[in-house]
Structure 1
Amino acid sequence: MWWRRAGWFVLIWAASVTLLGMIAYLIRLMIL
C-alpha cells in the first residue's frame, strides 16, 4: 500500500505549503 503512504505525504505537503503561504501573506500585510 505505497500509494496510501504517498497520498498522505502529498496531503501533508500541500497543507504545509498552504500554511507557509498564509503566514508569508500575513507577514507581508503586517510589514506594509
Structure 2
Amino acid sequence: MSVPVSMRRLGWFVALWAGGIACLTAVALPLRWLLKVV
C-alpha cells in the first residue's frame, strides 16, 4: 500500500506546524512566568 505524495506533503506540513506550535508554547510559557514574577 503506497501513500500518495500529496498525503506525504500534508503529513510533513502538519508535523512542522505542530512542532512550531509546540516550540512557541515552550518559549511563551517561561516568558509569561518571568513577566509575572518581574
Show structure 2 runs of 5+ residues with no match.
Answer: none
- Name the Cα RMSD after superposition: 0.7
Higher helix share: 1
Larger Rg: 2
Show structure 1 runs of 5+ residues with no match.
Answer: none
- Normalization by structure 1: what TM-score? 0.85
Q: Which runs of 4+ in 1 moved over 4 A?
A: none
- Normalization by structure 2: what TM-score? 0.75
Q: Aligned pair count?
A: 32
